[in-house]
């Protein structure tokens, strides 16, 4: 049984959901950040699979874009997390409660 589009899709959805789930239940900002990357990469897998399947190049281009954006986002995100750590003395999201009602 070869690896086809279906398998890629399943993998992609699984990775995406794993990321989403992690984002929602973990409290460590860095782990949540990793989960976010996971979600992005889940989508990337689907893009690549579809691009390969359809023999078009657009999907690959979009993946490159997503990776570039993810890299930029990682840089900013890590900077924010560092500052957050300094100001709040930890990286738990429950420490960010200034906007709470």
Partner 1 sequence: MMVLILAVVLIPLLGATINGLFCWFTKRKAHLIAVPAIAIPAICSLVLLGKVLHGEHFDQVLYWWIPLGDLRVPIGFLLDELSAVMITTVSFVATWIHVYSIGYMDHETPRGYAKYFCYLNLFVFFMLTLCLANNFLLMFVGWEGVGLCSYLLIGYWYEKASAANAGMKAFIVNRIGDFGFMVGLFLIYKHLGTLLFSQAFAQAEHLSVGMATLITLLLFTGATGKSAQIPLYVWLPDAMEGPTPVSSLIHAATMVTAGVYMVARTHAFFNMAPLSMEVVASIGVATALMAATMALVNNDLKRILAYSTVSQLGYMFVGVGVGVYAAGIFHLFTHAFFKGLMFLTAGSVMHALHGELNLQKMGGLIRKMPITGWTFVVGALAIAGIPPLAGFWSKDEILAGAFMGGHKVIWAVGTFTAFLTAFYMFRLIFLTFFGEPRERHLYEHAHESPPVMTIPLIVLAVGSALAGLLALAPHGGIAGFLNRTLGEAHGAVHHEGSVVYVLMAVSVAMGVAGVALAYFMYMRRVPDTVALAANFRPIYTLLYNKYYVDEIYFALIVNPVVGGSRHVLWKFVDVVIIDGAVNGTGRLCRLVGSGLRYLQTGYIPDYAWMILVGAVVIYWIGRLF
Minimum CB–partner distance for residue 2 and partner 1 (Å): 31
Q: Which is nearer to partner 1, 3 or 24 (CB)?
A: 24
Show contacts with partner 1 in window 26-55 (CB under 8 A). 26-27, 32
Distance CA 52, CA 46 (A): 10
Q: Does 86 bind partner 1 (CB under 8 A)?
A: no
**DSSP assigned state of 101:** -
Min dist. Cβ of residue 47 to partner 1 (A): 18
Output the DSSP codes for 40-72: HHHHHHHHHHHHHHHT-SHHHHHHHHHHHHHHH
Single out the residue of 11, 18, 20, 70 in contact with partner 1 (rule: CB under 8 A).
20
């Amino acid at each position: 049984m070869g690896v086809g589009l279906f398998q890629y899709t399943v993998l992609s959805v699984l990775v995406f959901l794993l990321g989403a789930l992690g984002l929602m239940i973990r409290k460590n900002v860095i782990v949540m950040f990793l989960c976010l990357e996971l979600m992005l990469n889940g989508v990337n897998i689907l893009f690549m699979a579809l691009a390969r399947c359809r023999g078009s190049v657009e999907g690959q281009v979009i993946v490159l874009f997503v990776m570039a954006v993810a890299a930029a986002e990682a840089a900013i995100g890590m900077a924010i997390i560092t500052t957050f750590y300094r100001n709040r003395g930890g990286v738990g999201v429950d420490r960010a409660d200034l906007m709470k009602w």
